[in-house]
Amino acid sequence: MSALLEGKTALVMGVANRWSIATSIARALHEHGARLALTYEGERTKDEVEKLAGELGGGLALHCDVASDESLANLRAVLESEYKQINTLVHSIAFARREELAGKYYATGRDGFRIALDISAFSLVALSRELQPIIKPGGSVMTMTYLGSVRAVQSYNVMGVAKAALEASVRYLAVDLGEQGIRVNGISAGPIKTASARAVSGFTNILAEVALRAPLRRNVSANDVGNVSVFLSSDLSSAITGQVIYVDAGYSIVGI
């Protein structure tokens, strides 16, 4: 175990199952010495998250509904009581209805649009507002995004718009929280086989295209993302904020 993050406490949000990107991030942070707290959204994922928390040092597994201001306030109260302060917030949360991730973007429903933006983008804003008083100066906030924020990716639809809003939020939050010495960054990962990714129509074709055209001629793994999250959580990235870091085997630089 590395001591790069020894003495630091990280809150990782978005663990759904053992294939989740958030799961790999949590494991990587733990391997480098961080103390962890994890959250789950509902009873469906509670057991999985509690099991992971037990495996990774026995940290807290807390319920949190990011669409509820009351739930966010409760989360802060528990974290403050248990840890007083945290060093890292990992936001790996996104949601869009399955029917919004196929067909034409213009077919997106008003309610589906609202839900996708609320859960996938505004939740970072709400969490940052609620938790910033207990994030230590020099701390790190990071979120997960995707190339569909800046390019039209088939079937990504409203999630691409939500990720664009998320990336803009990273920049504005970096300005706001920079006054307290808190850094805010995004990780734009290449396509990874997760349960949520399988909801995107044609996802297998996207994986094949990236492996064919990316400069490194491969897809990325959740472990690759975990490694970058360790860097962003550590003091090695103390001068980096407001950025989107691409972890995609170079695919984002390739033209026609």
CA atoms 52, 57, 58, 59: torsion sign: negative
pLDDT of residue 193: 79
- Do the domain assignments include residue 143? yes
We report the CATH number of the domain holding residue 140 as 3.40.50.720
Is the residue at 253 inside a domain?
no
Residue 119 has what DSSP assignment? I
Please tell me the distance from the alpha carbon of residue 165 to that of residue 160, in angstroms, as a whole number.
9
Instruction: Output the pTM of the full model.
Output: 0.94
CA–CA gap between residue 215 and residue 37 (Å, rounded): 36
How far, in Å, CA of 163 to CA of 151, rounded?
Answer: 11
pLDDT digits (tens, 9 = 90+) for 211-254: 999 999 999 999 999 999 999 999 999 999 999 999 999 999 99
Please report whether residue 214 resides in a domain. yes
Cα 232 to Cα 183: distance, rounded to the nearest angstrom:
9
- 212's torsion region: left (phi>0), alpha (psi -120 to 50) or beta? alpha
Domain count, the chain: 1
Supply the range of the domain harboring residue 30. Answer: 9-247
Q: Quote the CA–CA distance of 130 and 244 in Å, as a whole number.
A: 23
The residues, any chain, with a CB within 8 Å of residue 69's CB and separated by 6 or more, are: 126, 130
Residue 179 placed within a domain: yes
In a domain, 255, yes or no: no
**Catalytic one of 40, 83, 146, 172:** 146
Out of 105, 106, 156, 172, which one is annotated catalytic?
A: 156
Q: What is the pLDDT of residue 2?
A: 73
| Residue 153, domain member (yes or no) | yes
**Is 146 among the residues known to form the active site?**
yes
Residue 105 CB neighbour total at 10 angstroms: 13
Q: Between vectors from CA 221 to CA 127 and to CA 54, what angle results, nearest 5°?
A: 60
Series of mean pLDDT values for 10-residue runs along the chain (256 residues): 90 93 97 97 92 94 97 98 98 95 94 98 99 98 97 94 99 98 98 73 84 94 97 98 98 87
DSSP 49-116: HHHHHHHTTS-EEEE--TT-HHHHHHHHHHHHHHHS-EEEEEE------GGGGSS-GGG--HHHHHHH
Give the whole-angstrom CA distance, residue 207 versus residue 209: 5
Q: What is the pLDDT of residue 54?
A: 96
Residues in the chain: 256
Residue of 161, 215, 167, 226 lying closest to 192 (CA atoms):
226
Closest by Cα among 221, 214, 231 to 197: 221
**What per-residue confidence (pLDDT) applies to 256?**
66
Q: How many whole angstroms separate alpha carbon 230 and alpha carbon 12?
A: 12
Is 3 part of a structural domain of the chain? no
Annotation says 106 is catalytic: no
Partners of 135 in the beta sheet?
A: 86
Burial readout 9-28 (b: 16 or more C-beta within 10 A, e: otherwise): bbbbbbbbeeebbbbbbbbb
Residue with tokens 């990962």: 189
Structure tokens at 46: 């509670």
The answer to whether residue 4 is domain-embedded is no
